[in-house]
């Protein structure tokens, strides 16, 4: 990482950090894509079961990952101030915290999973697949949380290619494990959609093992002595990380959970075909969303580094670069999705009814893409400023007081059916984008005033 001076140098640095993150995020999304596609090839019930299981797990995973994401801006700020001696302590404390959070999630999930699925009143086969998919996946929660800390440790220093290498290495293992456990190949049991949960869990262990290996193989990382010099757990350090991470995690949770709630509401209110079609659209649009999400993560790194070095103008330039790029890319993607929506759906399912339904849902999903890209980029900028509490409230109000209620009312009391839920998503994301933009304008003016006061004194 370095402080770029010219606009050209800033673009080059941003792209250097961005492209490995993008490859990493797309690769991680491909794992979910493999789960969905292979489960869909077994049958509609398997696809629906994986959809329900993934919808319950996704907001928890993304929310907890958001808590761990606090490591990135904290490290980037310290690097911007040339305080490298503090990084070992930060990362070690984050690992302790990750293990505690993972154990808590496993215990809570083990208690609440069956009652939640019973409440949904699903088809018996769909409920069985969803429950055992999540049981299998739980084996990998602890390694997943620890590897997320290490990823944020690498990314916070701008070493995003390390995570890219690890993820690319894990993808073929994930594909092989899915193929073997879903279809019963190479002497392994045929588990159908349930096998996708176990395959994902085993892949998380592979990612952790490789992430730890990198700590000892790369000189620039080895000097921090992570997993070598252990320190006592510190409640103060956990409090600092949680003060930044919890609002980030909750903001991400509120966003990702609206998609999960839509899937769960469709599961309660509509047919198995509607569940399967909805999962197809969420799976593919989530893959496309990895591009603006990657831009958001890269923005957080460069903005944090710039703010740490008191370079406000550079932070503003990076903000414009990242947010506008995300909107433009999703605009292009929306055009392709419009013309290829049914061929895309046919990759997931052989059922003509599911394909047709998914093609119709794609039309509405296209509408929210631009708002989703804008709000993601703006959140990345705000995290770079370590401004996380107000965005949390903006996210809550936008998604849960506007998006979900409006979507439910449209789905339950009008003729638009499940399409109303997706209209609600679009409204919620648009409100969030507007709110984040207004907040960013306020934060930038505040930072500029503080720097001017520091210069005059």
Tens digit of each residue's pLDDT (9 = 90 or more) over 302-349: 888 787 777 778 888 888 888 888 888 888 888 888 888 888 888 777
On whether the CB atoms of residues 374 and 232 are closer than 8 A, the answer is no
The distance of Cα 308 from the centroid of its chain, to the nearest Å, equals: 25
In the predicted model, is pLDDT for residue 251 greater than 60? yes
The torsion angle over the Cα atoms of residues 294, 296, 302 and 308, rounded to 10 degrees, is: -140
Q: How far apart are CA 317 and CA 35, in angstroms?
A: 39
Q: How far apart are CA 244 and CA 89, in angstroms?
A: 17
Whole-number pLDDT of residue 456: 61
Whole-number pLDDT of residue 99: 93
For 442, counting Cβ atoms within 10 Å of its Cβ (0-12 exposed, 13-18 middle, 19+ buried), the class is exposed
In the predicted model, is pLDDT for residue 224 greater than 80? yes
In the predicted model, is pLDDT for residue 221 greater than 60? yes
Whole-number pLDDT of residue 220: 82
Q: What average pLDDT does the segment 395-413 reach?
A: 88
Whole-number pLDDT of residue 229: 85
Whole-number pLDDT of residue 176: 92
Q: How confident is the model at residue 2 (pLDDT cuts 50, 70, 90)?
A: low
In the predicted model, is pLDDT for residue 362 greater than 70? yes
Tokens at residue 445, please? Answer: 């003016």
Report the range out of 30-44, 208-222, 235-249 with the highest average pLDDT.
208-222
Whole-number pLDDT of residue 205: 94
In the predicted model, is pLDDT for residue 19 greater than 60? yes
Whole-number pLDDT of residue 1: 58
On whether the CB atoms of residues 420 and 411 are closer than 8 A, the answer is yes
Q: How far apart are CA 221 and CA 102, in angstroms?
A: 25
- The chain-wide mean pLDDT, for the chain, equals 83
87-120 vs 124-137: helix axis angle to the nearest 10?
Answer: 160
Q: What average pLDDT does the segment 51-78 reach?
A: 77
**Structure-token match 């398997």, residue found:** 46
Instruction: Name the pTM for this structure.
Output: 0.73
Helices and strands (H, E) in the chain, number of each type: 17, 0
Whole-number pLDDT of residue 3: 67
pLDDT tens track for 173-194: 988 998 899 888 888 888 888 8
Q: What average pLDDT does the segment 131-143 reach?
A: 92
Residue, of 155 and 144, whose pLDDT is higher = 144
């Amino acid at each position: 990482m370095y402080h770029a001076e010219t606009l050209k140098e800033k673009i080059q640095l941003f792209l250097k950090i961005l492209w490995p993150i993008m490859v990493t995020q797309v690769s991680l999304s491909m794992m979910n894509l493999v789960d969905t596609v292979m489960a869909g090839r077994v049958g509609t019930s398997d696809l629906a079961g994986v959809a329900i299981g993934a919808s319950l797990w996704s907001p928890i995973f993304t929310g907890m990952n958001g808590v761990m994401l606090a490591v990135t801006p904290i490290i980037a700020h310290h690097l911007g101030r040339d305080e490298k001696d503090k990084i070992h302590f930060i990362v070690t404390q984050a690992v302790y915290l990750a293990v505690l959070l993972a154990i808590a999630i496993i215990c809570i999930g083990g208690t609440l999973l069956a009652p939640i699925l019973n409440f949904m009143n699903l088809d018996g086969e769909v409920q069985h697949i969803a429950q055992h998919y999540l049981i299998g996946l739980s084996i990998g929660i602890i390694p997943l949380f620890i590897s997320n800390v290490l990823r944020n440790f690498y990314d916070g220093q701008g070493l995003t290619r390390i995570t890219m290498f690890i993820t690319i290495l894990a993808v073929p293992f994930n594909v092989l494990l899915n193929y073997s456990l879903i279809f019963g190949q190479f002497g392994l049991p045929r588990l159908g959609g349930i096998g996708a949960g176990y395959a994902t869990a085993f892949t998380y262990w592979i990612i952790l093992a490789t992430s730890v290996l990198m700590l000892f193989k790369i000189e620039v990382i080895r000097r921090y002595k992570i997993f070598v010099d252990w320190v006592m757990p510190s409640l103060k350090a956990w409090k600092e990380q949680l003060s930044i991470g919890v609002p980030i995690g909750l903001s991400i949770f509120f966003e990702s959970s609206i998609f999960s709630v839509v899937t769960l509401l469709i599961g309660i209110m509509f047919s198995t075909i509607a569940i399967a079609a909805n999962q197809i659209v969420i799976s593919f649009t989530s893959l496309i969303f990895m591009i603006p999400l990657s831009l958001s993560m890269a923005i957080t790194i460069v903005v944090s580094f710039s703010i740490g070095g008191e370079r406000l103008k550079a932070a503003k330039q990076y903000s414009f670069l990242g947010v506008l790029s995300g909107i433009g890319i999703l605009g292009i993607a929306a055009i392709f999705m419009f013309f290829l929506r049914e061929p895309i759906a046919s990759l997931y399912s052989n059922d003509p009814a599911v394909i047709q339904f998914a093609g119709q849902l794609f039309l509405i999903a296209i509408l929210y893409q631009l708002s989703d890209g804008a709000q993601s980029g703006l959140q990345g900028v705000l995290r770079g400023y370590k401004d996380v509490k107000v965005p949390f409230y903006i996210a809550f109000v936008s998604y849960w007081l506007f998006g979900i209620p409006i979507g439910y009312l449209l789905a339950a009391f009008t003729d638009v059916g499940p399409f109303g839920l997706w209209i609600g998503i679009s409204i919620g994301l648009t409100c969030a984008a507007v709110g984040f933009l207004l907040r960013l304008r306020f934060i930038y003016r505040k930072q500029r005033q503080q720097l001017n006061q520091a210069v005059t004194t």
